Amino acid sequence: MYKVNWKPGAWGEGGETECVIQRSVFEPAGGEVVATFDDGQPAAITNKFGKGQSTLLAYAAGLTYSRFYRRTDLTYPVRYDALDRAVVIQAALDAGVVRPVKVSKPGVEATRPDSKAGTAIALIDHWVQEPTVTIELPFEKKPQKVRSVTSGDLQFKYENGQISFEVSFDNLDIVTIE
């Protein structure tokens, strides 16, 4: 197993993570080396092309991110490393993809179907943490009500086109925004 050392960048302050499966070896022909393996070889390189940017990873960042989940001795709670998470999602963020819902804890999945009647946020806690999470999402106008199926009416903040609220739930919940 190799260590991967990330420089500070769009993915955060940088830091160390692991390469858990295999790695590739390459010689950069340009761009900037933004992460190295513990032996000094490049682990990631970014390069700009016109208005775009590319990042080449020499290891399986997605498998690294899920490494604590893919164990035979699975114990709860499963943890996810914030640096690994940032590396995995950064390409989408760089491409301008807007996250429809932000959840404060990894392992909690949130989906956002919108309709004329309102918006629903379906929450699934994959690790049975019985979490209290903070949910943030862009919203055009201040809603009248935010309500959890399991907890009832929720207090919420609306500032600068964003709603935020906390909700506690056990495994599954649906929050409606009207």
Same domain, 89 and 118: no
Same domain, 107 and 164: yes
Same domain, 13 and 90: yes
Same domain, 143 and 82: no
pLDDT of residue 20: 79
Domain count, the chain: 2
Same domain, 14 and 84: yes
Same domain, 17 and 88: yes
CB 70 within 8 A of CB 21: no
Q: Among 61, 94, 127, which residue terminates a domain?
A: 94
In the predicted model, is pLDDT for residue 119 greater than 90?
yes
- The range of the structural domain enclosing residue 157 comes to 102-177
pLDDT of residue 97: 86
pLDDT of residue 75: 57
| pLDDT tens digit sequence for 32-74 | 999 999 999 999 999 988 988 888 889 888 777 776 665 555 5
In the predicted model, is pLDDT for residue 100 greater than 80?
yes
In the predicted model, is pLDDT for residue 175 greater than 60?
yes
pTM: 0.68
Same domain, 19 and 75: yes
Query: Locate tokens 């399986």: which residue?
Result: 60
Q: Among 48, 70, 94, which residue terminates a domain?
A: 94
In the predicted model, is pLDDT for residue 107 greater than 60?
yes
Same domain, 85 and 109: no
Check residue 9 and report its DSSP letter.
B
Q: Among 94, 122, 140, which residue terminates a domain?
A: 94
CB 165 within 8 A of CB 151: no
What CATH number is associated with residue 119?
Answer: 2.60.40.1180
- Give the highest mean pLDDT range of 13-17, 89-93, 138-142: 138-142
DSSP per-residue letters across 95-120: TTPPPS-EESSTTEEEE--EETTEEE
pLDDT of residue 98: 82
Mean pLDDT, the chain, whole residue set:
86
- List the beta bridge partners of residue 59: 23
| pLDDT tens digit sequence for 85-97 | 788 888 788 888 8
pLDDT of residue 167: 96
